[in-house]
Amino acid sequence: MEHNISLITTIAAGFGLALILGFVAERLRLPALVGYLLAGIVIGWLVVEDLATVLVLVPPLAGVLGSPVAGGGEPAPLWQTIGLTLLQVAGFIAVMLLVGRRILPWLLWQVARTGSRELFTLSVVAAAISIAYGAATLFSVSFALGAFFAGMVMRESEFSHRAADPAVLVQAHVANAAMLVVATPDPLNVRQMADIARTLNPGIEIVLRTHSEEESRLLRKEGLDTVFFGEEELARGMTGHVLQRFGV
């Protein structure tokens, strides 16, 4: 019962935080999605803090509290245990940064170029399991914690916008296409699709549509080929119709 109450309280607190930040974002004239994303960042950061605290403190406390040592010998000195734990944590973070920023994006890009959706999905799963198992084996962390950091590493990849998104573009043979037309109204998805398409096919021509003048200016500044703004195109069409009607 205590576990159920704690779980319900945690879920309620998370929803409350998301609603509050969504309301604040709305008051600041920002999309409500921004507030929900901020709530996710806050909750995620709290989880990371808890996990990092456990990772750092549990091994020293185990030695201090008299945990048995293999072979029946005396436990290692506290300073030695703390130093070894800190080195493991530093090495673990360094490896995760290296894998997440350098190795994994390159591997996923090579797999995406093959055009096989099944191979891409299998590669993502294999990478996540390998990172989790390697973290548990080499750095003495739990497999669950290793899986958590595997997810964090996957988020560092440019193909992290959900595995289905790049797979869909790969399945559409974007790597061999001459032009990509994006009519999605969500600006975030538009940018993600454009980035993935440029990664798979640097020479592709991208045609986009936007629903705000500000977004249109931002996309044009980012160097996208052709950006259509709905109201501008409507005004041009009406002007052209009037001029054609009067024979101009």
Distance separating alpha carbons of residues 225 and 213, to the nearest angstrom: 16
How does pLDDT run across 109-121, given as a tens digit for each residue? 787 777 666 677 6
pLDDT at res. 123? 77
The mean pLDDT of the chain is: 66
Segment 157-180 mean pLDDT: 62
Q: What is the pTM of this model?
A: 0.38
Neighbour tally for 178: CB within 10 Å: 8
The per-residue pLDDT for 164 is: 38
Least confident residue range of 6-10, 79-83, 102-106, 110-114: 6-10
Domain positions in the chain are 1-48, 78-170, 172-245
Confidence of residue 176 (pLDDT cuts 50, 70, 90): confident
Residue 6 pLDDT greater than 50, yes or no: yes
User: 209-248: per-residue pLDDT in tens?
Assistant: 776 677 777 777 776 667 766 666 666 666 776 677 777 6
pLDDT at 156: 57
Are the CB atoms for 115 and 175 separated by under 8 Å?
yes
CATH code for residues 172-245:
3.40.50.720
Cβ atoms of 135 and 92 closer than 8 Å: yes
